[in-house]
């Protein structure tokens, strides 16, 4: 999203300098390469700026707002995962009524989790978890040094 706004700002800057849409498109392609906005989008933003709409924000869209990624459902999914980390997304879908894709997005984007060895775990460890793992490794190393036959 940030890169999109950045490119829109660049288009607005070129517009204010009096560049054409074609010149602006060429400059964006050179600067952003493969992730540059499309030629059509450049021309659409130029048309907006010509009409006096100088905001870089998208226009409001009609349609129903998303109801699956609410705080209550995020909390419910988090609680269910904490009860049993081996739950599958299909099980969470059945328990919560949230669609499969929304459930997967909640787990990865909202809760910062990913599947590791059939278990949902946080992507990043807390400092306490890191310290606990370091302590366990040191303990195993010490046991190995004392009695190499143990393993």
141, part of any domain: no
pTM of the complete model beyond 0.85: no
pLDDT in tens, 11-49: 999 999 999 999 999 999 999 888 899 999 999 989 988
Domain with 42, as residue range(s), is 2-50
In whole angstroms, how far apart are CA 32 and each of 11, 13, 19, 37, 100?
Answer: 12, 15, 18, 8, 34
pLDDT in tens, 62-107: 777 666 778 889 999 999 988 988 888 899 999 998 889 889 888 8
Average pLDDT over residues 138-147: 89
DSSP readout, 64-78? PPP-SS-HHHHHHHH
11, part of any domain: yes
55, part of any domain: no
Same domain? For 46 and 75 the reply is no
Q: Is the pLDDT of residue 129 over 70?
A: yes
Same domain? For 75 and 116 the reply is yes
* Tally of domains in the chain: 2
Tell me the C-alpha distance between 148 and 151, whole Å. 7
Phi-psi region of 62 (alpha: psi -120 to 50; beta: other; left: phi over 0): beta
25, part of any domain: yes
Q: What is the CATH number of the domain that holds 36?
A: 1.10.10.1450
């Amino acid at each position: 999203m940030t890169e999109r706004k950045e490119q829109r700002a660049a288009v607005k800057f070129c517009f204010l300098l009096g560049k054409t849409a074609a010149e602006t498109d060429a400059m964006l392609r050179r600067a952003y390469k493969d992730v540059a906005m499309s030629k059509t989008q450049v021309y659409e933003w130029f048309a907006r700026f010509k009409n006096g709409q100088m905001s870089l924000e998208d226009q409001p869209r009609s349609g129903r707002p998303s109801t699956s990624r609410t705080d209550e459902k995020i909390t419910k999914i988090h609680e269910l995962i904490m009860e049993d980390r081996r739950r599958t997304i299909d099980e969470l879908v059945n328990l919560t009524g949230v669609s499969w894709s929304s459930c997967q997005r909640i787990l990865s984007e909202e809760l910062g989790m990913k599947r590791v060895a059939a278990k949902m775990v946080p992507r990043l460890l807390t400092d306490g978890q890191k310290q606990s793992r370091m302590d366990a490794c040191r303990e195993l190393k010490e046991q190995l040094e004392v009695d190499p036959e143990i393993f």
